Chains A and B, each alone.
Chain A
Amino acid sequence: MTVHNLYIFDRNGTCLHYSEWSVHKSFHFSQEFKLMYGMLFSIRSFVSKMSPIDMKDGFLSFQTSRYKLHYYETPTGVKIIMNTDLGVPSCRDILHQIYSTSPLKVTVKNPLCSMSETLQSELFSSRLDTFIRTLPFFSVRAG
């Protein structure tokens, strides 16, 4: 099992952070973040309109034949997206932990850190990297 990559968006669609661990098709196009955010935005409204019953959490994840996308959104609109392979179970707790531990301390509690721009913090990147590498299903080999 493996973790491919991780995106963090703020409420306005700015990509606060992107990191990758095992991305096999490694090409980036200029509009990648915008397309990603647009897709998530559409899925959210699609899901809320199509659902025949009132939802508690809304959109949680989707999967294709090769990967699974996990989605977590806070009430303030911060969105954390993690792509993994298919064997990984629901990651809600883990994504909440990413929100509640590292990004929070670095951005929210650092008054010099604007909350609506891409994070430039080394500290944040390294903490996040360490955290992801300790996850039980993190293994680059197995991908």
Chain B
Amino acid sequence: MSRQANRGTESKKMNSELFTLTYGALVTQLCKDYENDEEVNKQLDKMGYNIGVRLIEDFLARSSVGRCHDFRETADVIAKVAFKMYLGITPSVTNWSPAGDEFSLILESNPLVDFVELPDNHSNLVYSNLLCGVLRGALEMVQMAVDVRFAQDTLRGDNVTEIRMKFIKRIEENLPVGDD
């Protein structure tokens, strides 16, 4: 039964160019709508967040990954399972802070930017900022508050694309408030 369900989702793999181009169209439209890179970054992050809070359910259902017990395990799952499943790439996990609460994902290729060159008048645009929102939203649903941002981006002349993740706190679960 479960094997059948897996086959169903795998057979639906589609050309990633469609995704890349759709994302490009989205960014283009946002740039037209806002005319301010900071605002576009914010909107991309917000959309990513909304995607992330739903995507996590899909991810957990498909991968049967359990609860992570530390941030290192979380980093591994993100890089090796989640990125692989949704973007077909496996970023490397590096630059751990001594406290173990911060790390970097190094993306050798970023499928979102396959055909993109940033024009000079968009120097503040974080083109793939949607990813930050997705990571933040998904982790929030498993009780982790995390700060996510692009530290380096090949689109902006850096050698690699680096996403920096910083663990802020565990979100405590509360008993719902009663009526009285």
Residues of A near any B CB (own CB < 8 A): 11-13, 34, 37-38, 41, 56-57, 74-78, 93, 96-97, 99-101, 104, 107-109, 115
Query: Do A13 and B67 have beta carbons less than 8 Å apart?
Result: no
User: CB-CB contacts of B56-76 with A at 8 A, as 1s and 0s?
Assistant: 111011101111100000000
In chain A, what residue has the closest Cβ to B56?
A: A76
Which of B13-21, B25-33, B157-165, B172-180 faces chain A? B172-180
Complex contact A12–B2 (CB within 8 A):
no
User: Are B176 and A100 closer than 8 Å at their CB atoms?
Assistant: no
- Once the chains bind, are A96 and B173 in contact (CB under 8 Å)? no
Q: Are A96 and B64 in contact (CB under 8 A)?
A: yes
Interface residues of B (CB under 8 A from A): 1-2, 5, 53-54, 56-58, 60-62, 64-68, 141-143, 173, 175-176, 178
Contact B61 A99 (CB under 8 A): yes
Minimum Cβ distance to chain A for residue B52 (Å): 11
- A12 pairs with B176, CB closer than 8 A: yes
* Bound Cα distance from A50 to B176, whole angstroms: 23
- A109 and B58 within 8 A (CB): yes
Of A13, A34, A75, A109, which contacts B60 at CB under 8 A?
A75
